[in-house]
Structures are given as structure tokens and as C-alpha cells.
Amino acid sequence: MVSAWHTWLTPTFEARRLTQTGYRPEMSERFLADAVLLNSGGREVARLERLEISQESAQALTQAVEQRWGQAVWLLHDGGLELGRRGTAARFEVQGKGGAVLPGVPNDRPWQRPGWRAQIGAWLETELNESPQRLTVIHASDIGCVLSMETGQGRRYFKAGEDGREVRAALEAARLFPTLTPEILAADEQRGWLLTRDAGVCLLTSVRLDDWRGGVARLTQVQQGASFAGVPIHRFAELPARAEALLLDTAALTHWGLNTEQLRFVQALLSPFWAAYEHVAALGLPDTPAHGDFHPNNVLIDAEGVVRLFDWSEGCTQHPLLDLGWLLAFVQHPARAEHPVRMALPELAQTLWRDWLSAWKLTTALRWQDAALVALIHRAVVYDARYRSWTGSVPGFRPQFTPYYLNMARHFA
């Protein structure tokens, strides 16, 4: 069984691993890293230098620290390790008396600070009415922190976000569609905390066509249901102007790390985008409730075959075709040509496309590739607005969603 939260990393994790000049180069086989150990009060307990790491991951670094230190540690900040950055010591929380208080990481998030583990541990114990066992960091970055834990009632997952956006959208989705999302056990919108029951494995692990068709059926249920309250609105009528503004803004694209060759093919997307947009607009569909990040790692299937949607951090109102277009672009990306799903279900994209059109009672010559192109440009625009001036805790880095989607779009133009 593959935990859904392990694959929560894709594709957002892929995008974060892009550097400002493109994909980071592959690391050497082994390298050395440093770590600072702090107690819950932020006082320095020890420094570990020249830790040998065989994999560029926070998990590998944590294992190396625990092996050297001889005790369990709690990751606070990886120093930019998983972004391919080196030279900044990672930070871990340990038990022990410390010396001087170490200044915090500039622009850090609450979960990257000493003492947060005790805070969240107490909250979880209260909400679960028991002490969670094997509390484990699945992933942590400036964007969010995901934990798993074992309880007497089974596995549970916790997520903390930058703000309360995901909590609001998840609660709204659960209110409107009680069986659509993993059961929410507790939530704190002000702190951006969400505790849920385990809801199965990711759709991307399934080669059963019925599971995929069920996922699209669930999406349509959301789109044709009651309107969400308190979520962002992305008006489809405004997309052409926003897309043109981004694609013709050479300075902005250069700031996103595109080189001369990349600029050329990205700006050439404008013409096919316009044609695809007009075809989509001709369907005459209104903006509707949307998941906002509908890819197969955000769709879960439990042991009984029940399909649920999770990770509502991008929940919004937008054109209904954008979620499906993103799903198809994700699955049909050339890099996944030999993925087990693609090999087992060669007609998957066309089948899901027909299902969605049928659910909306549409007859059209529109190709799913046009929907994919429009969806990717839309996503590039949305994330440009959010992250162009964003500041995080790793100097010089911003989440690279915009160049990620623009690069992907050229495969569907």
C-alpha cells in the first residue's frame, strides 16, 4: 500500500526542485552535510559536521544525523537540501540542555521552529483522545508540513499550511459532499491545521479503468454541485488577458529563469493558446466549484473502492474544464509514456475525456489536448501571481510552478 501523502509531493515537489535556471543537475553519488541540533527552547545542543549522505533527501539526512547522534531527532529545516542547495546547515530538534539561543531561520514557518513538535503533539493528543504513535514527517517545506501517525483506530494524517486556505476549502467540500473527502477529524483554520483519517492509496497506483472513471465522476459531482463559499475565483473570461500579459512579459519570464531558447518556445505558445481558449469558451460553460489541483495523486481509493478527493489547498471557482485538462496533461506527459498506468490503459485519456463530455451533455470536436494546454497556461498564470514576489526561508528560491507548467504546455500545443 502506497501512502497517499507520500505522493502528495508530485507534481508540486517536482516544481520545487527546479532551480531558477532549470532542473538542478544530478548530485554526485555521495556528499557531506552539516546539521545543528537545538532543544525545544531554540538553544544549541550540538553541531554535527561532515555527515555522509548517499541521497539528496531530508529522510537520508535525518537517518545520518540519528546514526551519528545516537538518538531520535526531529527535522526542523533541511537547509535547502531537497532543492539542491548546499552549504547551509540543516536544523533538528533534540532533547538536551543547550547553550546560546540560535537565531531563527529568516522567513521560517511555524513548523520549522523549535518547540512546534510539542505544540502539535499536545493538539493531536487532545483531538485524538490518545497519544499518537510514530509521529513521522512525510514532507516539510515552506509551503506546508505533512505528518503521519498511528493510533488505536488506524493511521491518521496531519497537514499544516501557510494559511487557512486549504482548511476552509476542505471544510466547505466536506459540508457540501460528506463522502467526497477523507473524513476530517479536526481542523484549525486560523493555524492552517487539518487532521484526517487515512482514505486509501493514490489513483496513480491503480491500473483499473473503473477507478479512473470514478475519479472523474467525483470531479463532475463537485463541478455540478453547490457553489463553494470563501474560496478564490478565477474568472475564465479574464484568462486571455492574464495569459497574454505573462507570456509577453520577457522580464518576468527571465526572472522565472527562462533562457533565450525557452523564452522563444514559451512565447510561441500564445497563438495555440488563443485557438484552444476560443474552442473551450465556445462550450458555453459557466465557472463552477473546482478542486483546483486535480491530478491522480490527489485522488484516493480505499479498500472498498470508494473514491475521494483530497488536498484542497487550491479549491476555487473556475472553468470546469481546467481541472480535467490538468489531470490529462499530468497523465499524458511524455515523461510518463512508460508509466504502468499508461501501459495498461492506452485509451485512458480519450475515455476520461468522453466521460466528462457525456456528464456535461456536450457534443464537440474539441480535443482533450486543447483542454490540457489551456489548463496549463491557466496554472502558470495563477502561480505567477502567487509566487512572483514570494519570499521563503531558502535564499533565492521561489516555488517554480510557473516555469514547470509553461515547459509542460509545449507538449500539448
pLDDT tens digits for 375-393?
999 999 999 999 999 999 9
Burial class (CB in 10 A: 0-12, 13-18, 19+), 267: middle
pLDDT for 61: 92
Report the C-alpha gap between 34 and 48 in whole angstroms.
6
Q: What is the pLDDT of residues 334-361, one digit of tens each?
A: 999 999 999 999 999 999 999 999 999 9
pLDDT tens string 390-402? 999 999 899 999 9
Q: Are strands 18-19 and 22-23 parallel, antiparallel or unpaired?
A: antiparallel
CATH number for domain 201-409, candidates 1.10.150.530, 3.30.70.20, 3.90.1200.10, 1.10.10.10: 3.90.1200.10
Answer for the pair 182, 154: CB distance below 8 angstroms, yes or no: no
Residue with the three cell numbers 544549541: 44
Cell of 363: 457534443
pLDDT over threshold 60, residue 22? no
Domain 18-100, second-level architecture: Roll (3.10)
Q: According to the model, what pLDDT value does residue 29 have?
A: 59
**CATH level 2 (architecture), domain 116-197:** 2-Layer Sandwich (3.30)
pLDDT tens across 54-64, in order? 888 888 999 99
Give the pLDDT band of residue 5 (cuts 50, 70, 90).
Answer: very low
Question: What span, in angstroms and rounded, lies between the C-alpha atoms of 6 and 55?
Answer: 17
Ordered by start, the domain boundaries in the chain are 18-100, 116-197, 201-409
Task: Please compute the mean of the pLDDT values over residues 168-184 and round it to a whole number.
Answer: 94
Question: Taking the mean position of all CA atoms in its chain, how far away is CA 315?
Answer: 12
Mean pLDDT across 88-99: 93
Q: What pLDDT is stored for residue 42 in this prediction?
A: 96
- The confidence score (pLDDT) of residue 58 equals 87
% of the chain at pLDDT higher than 70: 93
Q: What is the mean pLDDT of the chain?
A: 91
- pLDDT exceeds 60 at position 19: no
Identical fold at 116-197 and 201-409? no
pLDDT per position as a tens digit, 281-308: 999 999 999 999 999 999 999 999 999 9
Full 3-state SS string of 270-306: HHHHHHHHHHHHCCCCCCEEECCCCCHHHEEECCCCC
Does residue 21 have a pLDDT over 50? no
Instruction: Tell which residue, 294, 257, 252, 215, has the closest CA to residue 407.
Output: 257
